[in-house]
Amino acid sequence: MSSLRATFTLSFAAVAAAVTVLVGFLSYDAAARLVRVDQQTVFAEVVQDLRDQVRERALYPADFAASDSDHDGPLDDIIRPSRTDVQVLGPGGVIVDRGSPPLPVRAADRAVADHGTAGGLDEHKEVDVRGDRYRVATVALGGGRGAVQVAQQFSDTEDLLRELQQRTVLLVAAVVVAAGLFGWWLARRITRRLVRLAGAAEDVARTGRLGIQVPVTGYDEVGRLGRSFDRMLVRLAQSEEDQRRLVQDAGHELRTPLTSLRTNISMLRRIDELPPGVREELVADLALESRELTDLVNELVALAAGRSDTEPVRRLDLAELAEDVAIVARRRSGRDITVTARGDTTVEGRPTALQRAVSNLVENAAKFDRVGAAPIEVVVSGRRPGAEAGVDPSAPGAGHPGPARVEVLDRGPGMADEDLIRVFDRFYRAADARSLPGSGLGLSIVREVATAHGGAAFAFRREGGGTVIGFTVGVQRAGDGGR
């Protein structure tokens, strides 16, 4: 996470540096261009004004004397607007009034001083005077009377621009440093919750404990990630707890048939000494215990597979599925089993899981209704007109919001209130049922299947005696509710 913070900081600083450098370069270039063009324009205007003056009237070197007390001569007209340096030359290029600083007089300047035409021009773009750079132009007075040299220092302008350049560089550096510091602060603020979340994940990976408190704050993507991670840990902890309970309960339930089998197997060594009736009883008991052990193992495997079932979800008719279950149950038990369908019983679900749930309900009813005077009824109903969402599905005759409902009705001895509450718990067996074969997992599997299909299991006493046990299939796609 520290690398993420460093990456964010460097990226923020790099973007800020690039933007600042670009803006600074463009600003400096525009300012420098503007200043240079402006200075050159002013100098050109001064030179042109001087040429116009000497063309309008005859002027002499003395007219440009620096000793003019009224400051209304042609020299002041040149100096005022541009703060230029002026040096006056007489005939032959002799310096009459030295400039400050003195300007160099070349052969070309002497030739201009002797020029006969007023306004003649010799322009030097750049001249080095005592280490400073000047822009110099020499204008002829005409008639060989001399010339006037006008100079404009632009080294000061370049110094100003260099200072501006240095300040721009310092400003860019300051902005980059400030951007880096701000980026580090912002990255620390943004990644702080991610750091805590990563720490929690590392603690889980290191210790294996799923009950670690996950820091969850905010409603942005990081907050959503924290809440999702917290819910995942809760689900994993619940799954681990369910697995632990299943192993403990299975171990407890497996001890009884295994103990019985060991006892009976030990007696097989003396089978020749046993009377024929005892032998038949021993063999029958072995067969019964082996079947019970097989059923228990099969139901444990089915329950452990539970919601990890990879059977695809498809559309099916729950009434037809119940009729298939009833056909098999009639053949096995010899009981009269009726199937009644009401409304549209088409659902989306896993056929094998739903078939096992219905089969467990029918087998449970056949086991407890030992008299068999009345048929076992299987009622499959779709949404009934006028059914209200939110009505308790366990209420007799209640409408239900889901698209399908399976009820198995028997006329057995019924259940006590405390048994109705716990009948779907794993390995729970009512006091009256402990003498009967079974593992106590059948109805638990029914609840698992119903939950995986977005529904719920229910049980209540039937009017006139007996029990109604069943489950609903919810409106959501099968499997969504249990994942």
pLDDT digits (tens, 9 = 90+) for 111-136: 888 888 888 888 777 787 777 788 88
C-alpha to C-alpha distance for 106 and 119, rounded to whole angstroms:
18
Query: Of how many residues is the chain composed?
Result: 483
Residue 391 confidence (pLDDT): 44
Average pLDDT of the chain?
Answer: 76
Q: CB neighbours of 204 closer than 8 A, spacing ≥ 6?
A: 210, 212, 233
pLDDT tens digits, one per residue of 64-104: 765 554 545 566 556 555 567 888 888 888 888 888 888 88
Residues 6+ apart with CB under 8 A from 388: 399, 401
What are residue 396's DSSP bridge partners?
none
How confident is residue 428, by pLDDT bands cut at 50, 70 and 90? low
Q: What is the largest CA-CA distance in the chain?
A: 163
pLDDT at 356 over 50: yes
Distance of CA 52 to the CA centre of its chain: 76
Cβ distance 61 to 141 under 8 Å?
A: yes
- C-alpha span between 363 and 355 (Å, rounded): 12
Residue 79 has a pLDDT of 55
pLDDT tens-digit series, residues 274-287: 788 887 887 887 78
How confident is the model at residue 318, as a pLDDT? 92
pLDDT in tens, 304-324: 665 545 678 889 999 999 999
Rounded CA-CA distance 198/212 in Å is 12
Specify which residues 339 forms β-bridges with: 378
The region of weakest confidence among 26-30, 140-144, 395-399 is: 395-399
Nearest to 82 by CA among 145, 160, 137: 137
Q: How far apart are CA 425 and CA 435, in angstroms?
A: 18
Pairwise CA distance, residues 479 & 420, whole Å? 26
Strand partners, 348: 315
Per mean pLDDT, which of 28-42, 110-124, 268-282, 438-452 is the most reliable? Answer: 110-124
Q: For tokens 């106590």, what's the residue? A: 440
What is the rounded distance in angstroms from the CA atom of residue 92 to the CA atom of residue 200? 95
Q: Can you tell me the mean pLDDT for 344-360?
A: 87
Q: Is the peptide bond before 101 cis (omega within 30 degrees of 0)?
A: yes
Instruction: Choose between 401 and 211: higher pLDDT.
Output: 211
Output the 3-class SS for the chain: CHHHHHHHHHHHHHHHHHHHHHHHHHHHHHHHHHHHHHHHHHHHHHHHHHHHHHHHCCCCHHHHCCCCCCCCCHHHHHHHHHCCEEEEECHHHCEEECCCCCCCCCHHHHHHHCCCCCCCEEEEEEEEECCEEEEEEEEECCCCCCEEEEEEECHHHHHHHHHHHHHHHHHHHHHHHHHHHHHHHHHHHHHHHHHHHHHHHHHHHHHCCCCCCCCCCCCCHHHHHHHHHHHHHHHHHHHHHHHHHHHHHHHHHHHHHHHHHHHHHHHHCCHHHCCHHHHHHHHHHHHHHHHHHHHHHHHHHHHHHHHHCCCCCEEEEHHHHHHHHHHHHHHHHCCCEEEEEECCCEEEECHHHHHHHHHHHHHHHHHHCCCCCCCEEEEEEECCCCCCCCCCCCCCCCCCCCCEEEEEECCCCCCCHHHHHHCCCCCCCCHHHCCCCCCCCHHHHHHHHHHHCCCCEEEEECCCCCEEEEEEECCCCCCCCCC
Percentage with pLDDT > 90 across the chain: 6
The two three-digit tokens of residue 379, written as one number: 């009622």
Phi, psi of 273 (to 5 degrees): -85, -10
Residue 378: pLDDT band (50, 70, 90) is: very high
